[in-house]
Amino acid sequence: MPEMAVLQGWDLKRGYDAATKWSPAPDWRHASIERTSWSARPVFGLGQTLVSGNLEVARSALWPKAEPVGLWGIAKRDALVRIARDRALLVGDRPVAIQPGWNAEGGWAVSLADDAWFVFELSGDSARAVCAQATSADLEKGSPSAAVLFAGVTALLYRTDELTARLHVERGFAPYLWRWLETLEG
């Protein structure tokens, strides 16, 4: 009987390249999707700070003008984008200098998240239809939380005006979501 080789460690995956299953990232500086009735583009330079704990006290202390917003709500300026009862993403037009860590007095903690979430804007007459196709959530009913499954990945979805949706997705999923958007007509 022939002797069987016992595979161990990396030998088990020899010849397997996990990177081949991920969508390659486009050149984000020049990325744009233009359709007849909607468009998509990446948004750069926003300040994004993850807040956990007492959200109202944290908002008052850190970003008092931030508007609380949930699923499909409209935030015209800085926003406190709700993820869960005790977690939100503070979003502003520029990064801010906030000391990360725990605030025992106020009962909240912050983590800088400027690079953790990638942001897209979908705009135009059919932006709502694109969002409705990507999620099973009832956009018109909304929710206090902006977190939703969007094309199969967790994202934060709200609007900046009637025809412009803003979508925050964990950075690693941005190329996948972009490729998904590219497949849509409109």
Q: Quick check: is 91 in a domain?
A: yes
Q: Quick check: is 13 in a domain?
A: no
The CATH number assigned to the domain holding 79 equals: 3.30.1360.120
Per-residue exposure over 107-144, b if at least 16 CB sit within 10 Å of its own CB, e if not: ebbbebbeeebbbbbbbbebbbebbeebbebebeeebe
Nearest to 129 by CA among 140, 117, 141: 140
Q: Give the type of residue at 57.
A: V
Nearest to 75 by CA among 61, 62, 91: 91
Identify the pLDDT of residue 21: 72
pLDDT in tens, 71-99: 999 999 899 999 999 999 999 998 888 88
Identify the pLDDT of residue 20: 72
Which of the four pLDDT bands, split at 50, 70 and 90, describes residue 174? Answer: very high
| Total domains in the fold of the chain | 1
Q: Quick check: is 48 in a domain?
A: yes
Host domain of residue 170 = 33-182
Q: Quick check: is 21 in a domain?
A: no
